[in-house]
Structure 1
Amino acid sequence: MQLHELMNPDYSENPFLLYRKLHEQGPLIRGGDNVIISGSHAVVEALLNDRRAGKNYMDSVRLRFGADAAGMPVFRGMNRMFLVLNPPEHTRLRGLVMKSFGAKEIQSLREMVLAVANDLADSLAGRYSCDLAREFAFPLPVRIICRMLNVPESDAARLGHSASALVRVFDPQITQEDLLKAGVAFTELEEYFSALIVSRRGSEASDLVSLFLRGGTDGDRLQHDEIIANVILLFIAGHETTSNMLCNTVLALYENPIELERLRQDHSLIPAAITECIRYDSSVQMLYRTALDEIEVADHVIPRGTSLFLSLGAANHDPAVFSSPEILNIRRREGRSLSFGGGIHHCMGYRLALAEMEVALEVLLTRLPDMRPVTGGIQRNNRANLRGISILPVTKDST
């Protein structure tokens, strides 16, 4: 399998085809010169937890877009995000915000999510139809991250639009037009958050922006550009992935009515249902790593400098770990989903994402019990990565 095959549009509609192909070709697949692809749960998990499989973001940019792309402002800016860094820089930046996503903080955030979800449900109450993606799933996480950054919610829609354009740079199917739009979006977000950061200097508040400004010691303060890049990262990470996961979850449940009915009868199954839906149709489908040193895995030696494309979607459907992986089973008790990654780059906001999805699903089942997706109007975002739904029309079930 060659790397470009991962971008086959057929896989956007039916990713199971890709997962099967990856499993058939073995745990380590040569995807081109110095490129390895894997959809094996054991291999992907091992590499995510191996610090020798690290990040080299600019190499991935050059591989995908050519040597000149590394000089583009959007990529220079994103290269400052702790998401793409290795220790010790990654450790320093990640440590500054970990305290805002700890287990103790999630309860207050859950209450915030409940208030926002109910407010959005209020706007949909009594209506015969709506677009659940644009009117519920997308505004929910963006309003939450706005509150965490202490950004006016009146700016949420504009910032969310820019974030959606910028996040396309993580997708291998990006077009030249999309890349240009992403560059414009990065500039818009950079200017917005730069002004915000200047206005927060000296603040003793507990929002994430103020936390970054106070982070470090006098001799190791974060630079202005570092703060901008990582505030942008928190914004896009707290927006796009969660909204896509929520849409994928809703659609997966309605396409499996027996599982949906079980959930309707017993809301205590919601956490397990979320876990299974994230495994079944993950938002983040692929992670990229570079072999920083020689690595032995699955009885093979991966040479230093090899580009590693790790399919989380395929790993979550590995029949060696999950029985009948293409069947949604909300009472499944086997394996571990890799949808939030692993190792030192495990998703820092996974507790918040789970809380948002659990609360959102509870609100939807309670407040919109007659909701039914209109299959013919659903539009997927046609991405090889950050898989999701752009339009999710729902109507009241007449049965």
Structure 2
Amino acid sequence: MTTQKLTTQKLTTQKLTTQKLTTQNATAPPGPAAPTDPVTTHAANEALAELLFSPEGRVDPYARYRRLREAVPVHHSTMGVWVLTRYDDVNDALRSRQVGKDVRTFMAGRFTGTWEQHPALGKLGSSMLWTNPPEHTRLRRIVNRVFTTNRMAAHQEFIRRRVDELLAPLADAGGGDICNDLCFPLPLSVVAQLVGVPQEEAPLLREPIRDFQRTFELGMTAADLRQADDAADFLDDYYGDLVRRKQQHRGDDLLSALIDTEDEGERLSFAELAQMCHMIIAAGSETTTYFLTNGIRLFCEHPDQADLVRADPGLLGRAIDEVLRFDPPAHMVPRTTNETVEIGGVAVPGGARLMAMIAAANRDPTRFRDPDTFDVTRDEGPSISFGAGIHSCAGWRLARMQAEAVFPAVLGRFAELTVTRPPRPRPRVAFPQVEALHVGLRGGSGTAA
């Protein structure tokens, strides 16, 4: 990476200040209908800078989302990215045929012209996540044929058994690090079982997946990219070997089914199979880990809401929806425009880079009443935490199945849930993470009161 450098606006450290971000305006391409009010534009730039690059923004992103939405809801930032924060704007953009995923357009605004030479960025760019129709249609059709409701439902007993196994030592100890001892190993075990990764090998993938996920961050540094490159090399080697093993010896798993599935007489290539493994396991483990962790933390912080679910198990579905709305595991998703498109009354030019702020949209007061209140009785329709349109999450059922096992198990066995240490956030914005979540588990049927 000695000859490769992140662009100036991405920096090589995480110490970007509001002043630095605002002074980049001279290098950002102007939009045809970008806001011209210097006061609101400055307020939006300031909120975005805090969100992306300050410790305070990582601890409390929602205050910055609110300021962005109130200042300039369709904001052409000084980073050259258009930022969307209202529910309708985000939802419409994700569903629009005029909005797609041109990886070269998006990457060109973030890195130098030789970005594809980096293993991590090349891997990201070749993923189904960055394809458009008709290629995306072909790949998604194949995934849908094997990623069936019946296949996922067959793992329900495995999920319940793993929850019991992982929760038992926490119950015996009266608590512990529920993020790393339950919410991390459960999704990784489940998606490994689904894809065909041996259970003893699955933990080896956690840190490489985490390091690779840095490629989604707008504030990615040169050091982050080096770690992501190393992770990409490891993951390519591992999944390539896994595909070769399954080609030699099929199993009752998703990868074996993908190997044998044809679409219009063609099968997935070796490279496509390896990429599918990475996409499914990374998306199915990392985001579900923090979906479950966020839910348990919210029940700890809102014991009255936990009591409502305990008293009425019929509220579980709404409670899951509310966890996803209130604090989703993915906060933003990238897009590009295929042509000029009107979003929220603003003409966004073709070839523009968009960042759809899912977490901000889920707190839009024009869509959800009292949006900053965690309310498990809320019944106002779905959030967009699993995305929308053709790129919506294919594994949303599997994530919900795990929540349907974990949340009742924790709430049903323990009458009192408390956070015993302040969670330590990792420096992530697109996929916020915590290092650990230490909780106390008392009363009920899990431990002695």
Match for 1:118 among 154, 159, 164? 164
Counterparts of 1:51 and 1:178, CA distance in 2: 33
Counterparts of 2:80 and 2:94, CA distance in 1: 19
Moved more, 361-370 or 193-202: 361-370
Moved more, 336-345 or 1-10: 1-10
Counterparts of 1:46 and 1:235, CA distance in 2: 28
With structure 2 as the length reference, what TM-score do the two structures score?
0.84
Q: Match of 2:298?
A: 252
**Structure 1 residue 50: Cα displacement:** 0.7
Counterparts of 2:106 and 2:62, CA distance in 1: 26
- Counterparts of 1:184-195 in structure 2, within 5 Å, are 184-195=230-241
Counterparts of 1:5 and 1:51, CA distance in 2: 32
**Structure 1 residue 384: Cα displacement:** 0.8
Tell whether the 8 Å contact from 2:299 to 2:417 is kept in structure 1 after alignment: no
Amino acid at match of 1:379: R
- Counterparts of 1:26-65 in structure 2, within 5 Å, are 26-32=72-78, 34-65=80-111
Task: Determine if the alignment matches structure 1 residue 97 to structure 2 residue 143.
Answer: yes
Tell whether the 8 Å contact from 2:178 to 2:438 is kept in structure 1 after alignment: yes
Change in CA separation of 1:99 and 1:32 when aligned onto 2, cut-off 3 Å: same
**Residue ranges of structure 1 left out of the alignment (5+ in a row):** none
Q: Match of 2:436?
A: 391
Moved more, 168-177 or 218-227: 218-227
- Counterparts of 1:167-186 in structure 2, within 5 Å, are 167-186=213-232
Tell whether the 8 Å contact from 2:102 to 2:131 is kept in structure 1 after alignment: yes
**Structure 1 residue 213: Cα displacement:** 1.6
Higher relative contact order (CA 8 A, sep 6+): 1
Moved more, 290-299 or 240-249: 290-299
**Structure 1 residue 80: Cα displacement:** 2.0
Q: Match of 1:323?
A: 369
With structure 1 as the length reference, what TM-score do the two structures score?
0.94
Amino acid at match of 1:285: H
Q: Secondary structure at the match of 1:157?
A: helix
Counterparts of 2:225 and 2:429, CA distance in 1: 15
Amino acid at match of 1:163: I
Task: Determine if the alignment matches structure 1 residue 107 to structure 2 residue 159.
Answer: no
Counterparts of 1:83 and 1:33, CA distance in 2: 23
Match for 2:387 among 338, 341, 351? 341
Amino acid at match of 2:129: L
Q: Secondary structure at the match of 2:355?
A: strand
Change in CA separation of 1:397 and 1:115 when aligned onto 2, cut-off 3 Å: closer
Match for 2:331 among 278, 285, 301? 285
Match for 2:114 among 59, 68, 80? 68
Match for 1:380 among 425, 428, 447? 425
Moved more, 148-157 or 235-244: 148-157
Tell whether the 8 Å contact from 1:41 to 1:321 is kept in structure 2 after alignment: yes
Q: Secondary structure at the match of 1:391?
A: coil
Task: Determine if the alignment matches structure 1 residue 135 to structure 2 residue 193.
Answer: no
Q: Match of 1:275?
A: 321
**Structure 1 residue 47: Cα displacement:** 0.6
Change in CA separation of 1:340 and 1:253 when aligned onto 2, cut-off 3 Å: same
Amino acid at match of 2:309: L
**Structure 1 residue 349: Cα displacement:** 0.5
Tell whether the 8 Å contact from 1:78 to 1:229 is kept in structure 2 after alignment: no
**Residue ranges of structure 2 left out of the alignment (5+ in a row):** 1-43, 444-448
Q: Match of 1:295?
A: 341
Task: State the Cα deviation string for residues 252-306 of structure 1 (Å, max 9, x = none).
Answer: 2211121122122222212211100110011110111100112123222221111
Moved more, 192-201 or 232-241: 192-201
Change in CA separation of 1:198 and 1:182 when aligned onto 2, cut-off 3 Å: same
Tell whether the 8 Å contact from 1:101 to 1:351 is kept in structure 2 after alignment: no
Task: Determine if the alignment matches structure 1 residue 307 to structure 2 residue 344.
Answer: no
Q: Match of 2:378?
A: 332
Counterparts of 2:432 and 2:61, CA distance in 1: 10
Amino acid at match of 2:247: R
Counterparts of 1:161 and 1:33, CA distance in 2: 29
Q: Secondary structure at the match of 1:29?
A: strand
Change in CA separation of 1:298 and 1:225 when aligned onto 2, cut-off 3 Å: same
Report the count of equivalent residues.
Answer: 398
Q: Match of 2:31?
A: none
Counterparts of 2:57 and 2:151, CA distance in 1: 38
Moved more, 247-256 or 323-332: 247-256
Q: Secondary structure at the match of 1:242?
A: helix
Moved more, 61-70 or 291-300: 61-70
Identity of aligned residues (%): 28
